[in-house]
Amino acid sequence: MKIETLFKRAVENRASDLHLRVGLPPILRIDGHLQRQADLTLLTNDDILHMLDEIATPQQQERLSREKELDFAYPYELAARFRINVMRQRKTLSVACRMLPFVVPSIDELELPSICKDLILQPRGLILVTGPTGVGKSTTMAAMIRHLNENKDCNIICIEDPIEYQHQNVNSIVDQRELGEDTDSFDMALIRALRHDPDVIVVGEMRELNTISAAITAAETGHLVMSTLHTTDAVQTIDRMVDVFPPNQQSQIRLQLSQEIIAILSQTLLPRASGLGMIAVFEIVLANPSIRNLIREGRTYEIPTYMKLHSESGAVSLDEALVLMVRKLKITRDAAMQKTNDPKHLTKLLSL
C-alpha cells in the first residue's frame, strides 16, 4: 500500500484528515466523521514505516528516531499539501495527515466574519485566533494573511510548525520560516524577526512563556502580531496567557495585554445543514476601553456578562453566532445545541 494512493483517496473524498494506525485500515475524516476504509487491509507497523520512507527525508526520520515524534509538510502532486504528524504509541507508530489545498482560501470563500478583513489591516496590536485542535485556526489565519497580502504592501514574517499554506508575494512580501528547518524555536524566531523590518508577524502557536512574552513585546514595539492558542473562549485565552507567568509578573502582563490586544476570535467547526462540508462559527471579542479595563483588573470572568449587556460593542458571543448561523440555514438547530455551553440561553435566543 502506497501512501500517495491514500493521499489520492483523501483528495477525491474531500477528507480533512487521513489517519494511519496499526491494527486498523486507513481512516478518513470526512465532514467531521471518521470513516474506516474497510476495503483496505489492516495496517502493520512495517506498513507505516514503509509509507514514511516514501515521504520523510533522512533528516526527518532521524529526528523521529531521536524525539519519538515528528511534524512536517508534504506536497501531493498539484492537488494538495498534507501536514503530517507522527508519534509513537504502545511501541508502534501513529500518523495523522491533515489535507491542505495549495491555493490559500479567501475570507469570503470560507464565509468568515467580515470583520476579519478589517482586523488584519490594523497597523499594530495583537490578534488571537483560538480553539481546540482541528477547527481550522491555521486556515483562518491563512485567509486573513491572503487578504492583507492582496490589499496592503507589508513585510510579513510567518513562523510555522510546519509551513501549511504557501503564500505568494502579491502586494506584500511574505517570509515563511519553518520550525526545525529554518529556526530552532518560536521565541527566538520572533526576536530575530524584529530585526528584519517586519510590519506583521504571524506565530503559528503560542505554546509557552518565552513565545507569549516575545509576541507581546513585538506588539508593543508597533507591529501587528497574530497567533493561535488552544483555548475555547476569550476568558480562557487571557487567563491562560497570564497564568504561564510567575505570580509576581502577572499584573504587568495583564496591563500589557490590555493595551495591545485588538481581538480574540474563538473558533469552532460545525457540519453544514446541507450535509456537505463544515463551517466555522466564531465568538468575537473586540478590545474596547471596557474590555481592556476588565483584562487589566483581572476581571476576565465578567467579559461574557459584558458581551450580553453591550451588544453594540461589536462583540459576538458564541450563542449569538450560533443563532445567526441557524437563521441563515447554514447549520441545524441540533448542531447548534451540541456546541453551546448554555442550552437554556441558546433556546431562548432561538425563540426570539
Q: Residue ranges per domain, the chain?
A: 3-100, 107-316
Judge contact between 273 and 282, C-beta under 8 A. Answer: no
Handedness of CA 216, 222, 223, 226 (dihedral sign): positive
pLDDT tier at 281, thresholds 50, 70, 90: very high
Residue 224 backbone zone (phi > 0: left; psi -120 to 50: alpha; other: beta): beta
Summarize the confidence of residues 45-65 as an average pLDDT. Answer: 94
Question: What DSSP designation does 28 have?
Answer: E
The answer to whether the 3-100 and 107-316 domains have the same CATH topology is no
> Angle, nearest 10°, between helix axes 45-55 and 58-67?
140
pLDDT over 80 at 313, yes or no? no
Summarize the confidence of residues 326-340 as an average pLDDT. Answer: 96
What is the percent of the chain with per-residue pLDDT over 70, rounded to a whole number? 100
pLDDT of 180: 82
Residue 339 amino acid letter:
K
pLDDT over 90 at 54, yes or no? yes
* Residue indicated by cell numbers 487578504: 147
Question: What DSSP designation does 313 have?
Answer: G
Measure CA 337 to chain center. Answer: 23
Query: How many CA atoms lie less than 13 Å away from 34 in the CB half-sphere?
Result: 9
pLDDT over 90 at 309, yes or no? no
| Rounded distance between C-alpha atoms, residue 200 and residue 17, angstroms | 30
pLDDT of 80: 87
| Rounded distance between C-alpha atoms, residue 98 and residue 71, angstroms | 11
| Rounded distance between C-alpha atoms, residue 126 and residue 31, angstroms | 32
* CB atoms near residue 251 (< 10 Å): 14
Residue 202 amino acid letter:
V
Measure CA 73 to chain center. Answer: 16
Torsion on CA atoms 238, 303, 319, 312, rounded to nearest 10: -120
> Which range among 6-15, 88-97, 178-187, 252-261 shows the weakest confidence by mean pLDDT?
178-187
C-alpha grid cell, residue 167: 503564500
pLDDT of 153: 97
What is the percent of the chain with per-residue pLDDT over 90, rounded to a whole number? 87
C-alpha grid cell, residue 145: 494573511
239 phi/psi in degrees, rounded to 5: -65, -40
Summarize the confidence of residues 30-39 as an average pLDDT. Answer: 93
* Residue from 207, 222, 233 nearest 315 by CA: 233
Question: Please, which residues have CB within 8 angstroms of residue 131's CB and are 6 or more apart in sequence?
Answer: 137, 228, 230, 231, 232, 266, 267, 268, 269
Q: What architecture is domain 107-316? A: 3-Layer(aba) Sandwich (3.40)
Q: What is the pLDDT of residues 91-114, one digit of tens each?
A: 999 999 999 888 899 999 999 999
Residue 268 backbone zone (phi > 0: left; psi -120 to 50: alpha; other: beta): beta
pLDDT over 90 at 158, yes or no? yes
Is 3-100 in CATH node 3.30.1330.30?
A: no
Q: What is the pLDDT of residues 188-210, one digit of tens each?
A: 999 999 999 999 999 999 989 99
> Which range among 76-90, 204-218, 280-294, 304-318 shows the weakest confidence by mean pLDDT?
304-318
pLDDT over 90 at 31, yes or no? no
pLDDT tier at 181, thresholds 50, 70, 90: confident
* Residue from 282, 315, 254, 264 nearest 112 by CA: 282
pLDDT over 90 at 117, yes or no? yes
pLDDT of 26: 98
